[in-house]
Amino acid sequence: QQQVKQSPQSLIVQKGGISIINCAYENTAFDYFPWYQQFPGKGPALLIAIRPDVSEKKEGRFTISFNKSAKQFSLHIMDSQPGDSATYFCAASMKDFGNEKLTFGTGTRLTIIP
């Protein structure tokens, strides 16, 4: 059972545009929602994370929007640049000692074209 659904699978955005990736979760016990960026041949790198007590978090060009009632959250990349081309994963975890695993979405391959 996939507990975190991510869309789209791939995304092409023009340089300077806004990239939007969406995720939905099922388990209401999740209380931490990070986004990871992964380049080919590398491990995932933490980009930005949010907890469900806030509806939005912004760090530079990256913004997470969170809708607790809909159990959805999204990543917005403003002024997208070619260097942002990578695979992005949303994830979720719960603060439960011994059960702190990250549950990942299936990933979105983002390509920024000039």
Partner 1 sequence: ETGVTQSPTHLIKTRGQQVTLRCSSQSGHNTVSWYQQALGQGPQFIFQYYREEENGRGNFPPRFSGLQFPNYSSELNVNALELDDSALYLCASKRAGLETQYFGPGTRLLVL
At closest approach, how far in Å is the CB of 56 from partner 1? 19
104 binds partner 1 (CB under 8 A): yes
106 binds partner 1 (CB under 8 A): yes
Phi-psi region of 54 (alpha: psi -120 to 50; beta: other; left: phi over 0): beta
23 binds partner 1 (CB under 8 A): no
- Based on CB atoms, which residue is closest to partner 1, 63 or 89? 89
100 binds partner 1 (CB under 8 A): yes
Whether the CB-CB separation of 4 and 89 falls below 8 Å is answered with no
- Based on CB atoms, which residue is closest to partner 1, 18 or 46? 46
Site for partner 1 in 36-75 (CB under 8 A): 36, 41-46, 49
How many helices, marked H, and strands, marked E, lie in the chain?
Answer: 0, 11
* Rounded-to-integer distance, Cα 30 and Cα 68, Å: 11
- Assign 69 to helix, strand or coil: coil
* Rounded-to-integer distance, Cα 75 and Cα 1, Å: 23
29 binds partner 1 (CB under 8 A): no
At closest approach, how far in Å is the CB of 44 from partner 1? 5
